[in-house]
Amino acid sequence: MNKKLKTILIAVLLVAVGAGVGAYAASTYGTQSDPLVAKSYLDNTLTPKLQSEFQTKVDQQSQVLENEIASANKTMNFAAVSLSKGQTLRCSEGCEVVLRSGSAAASAALSDVTAGTEVSSGGALTANHLNVAPDSAALTATAAATLLVRGVYTVG
C-alpha cells in the first residue's frame, strides 16, 4: 500500500509540475514585451515594408553615384576653349591642353607629351601637341587661338 501511495503521489506531482510549466509558458510567451509573430504578418506586412525601404535606399545611393560619375565625366572630356589675343588660360595641376589653331605661349613650363619635351616659360605651343601642366601653369594667346582643354582651368 505504501508503494501504491508513492506511485500516485509521484504521478500527481508530475501532472502538477507539467501543468505549472505549461501555465508559465503560456503566460510568458506572446506577452506585450515579447510578442509572438504570425507568419502571415511577416509575409504580408513586414517583408514588403523592409523590401520597400531597402529599394528606396538603393535608389537613393544609385542616384548619388550616377551624379558623381556624371560630374567626373565632365572633367574627363576635352572642352573647346577660344581665346582672343592677350587672354590667359590658367591651368591646375594635371590639366591637359591641345592647341588646335592660332598661337599661344606658355607662361610657365608645360610638358609637351607628344614630342617628349618641355615647353619653357615664354615658349610657343606646337599645334596638335598634347601639353600637360605639371603644376599650376598658364598660357597666353599671342593671336586668336582655339584650344582643347581637359581638367580644371579658368580663362582671364
Question: Dihedral of the CA atoms 67, 68, 72, 73 (nearest 10)?
Answer: -30
Can you give the pLDDT at residue 132?
94
pLDDT attached to residue 108: 85
Q: Do 87 and 151 sit in the same domain of this protein?
A: yes
Structural contact between residues 81 and 145, judged by C-beta atoms closer than 8 angstroms? no
Would you say residue 2 lies in a domain?
A: no
Tell me, what DSSP letter sits at residue 45? I
Domain of 147 in residue numbering reads as 78-155
- Cβ distance 94 to 132 under 8 Å? yes
> Is the domain of 94 the same as that of 150?
yes
Residue ranges of the chain with pLDDT lower than 50? none
Boundary-marking domain end, from 76, 100, 134: 76
Q: Which of 155, 141, 156 is nearest to 85 (CA)?
A: 141
* The pLDDT of residue 149: 93
Same domain, 82 and 150: yes
- pLDDT for the residue 102: 95
The per-residue pLDDT for 145 is: 96
Q: 149 and 86, same structural domain?
A: yes
Q: Are residues 84 and 148 in the same domain?
A: yes
pLDDT attached to residue 66:
83
Determine the pLDDT at residue 123. 92
Our count of domains for the chain comes to 2
* Statement to judge: residues 57 and 101 lie in one domain: no
Kindly state the cell numbers that stand for 99.
592647341
**pLDDT the model gives residue 104:** 95
Q: Are residues 107 and 59 in the same domain?
A: no
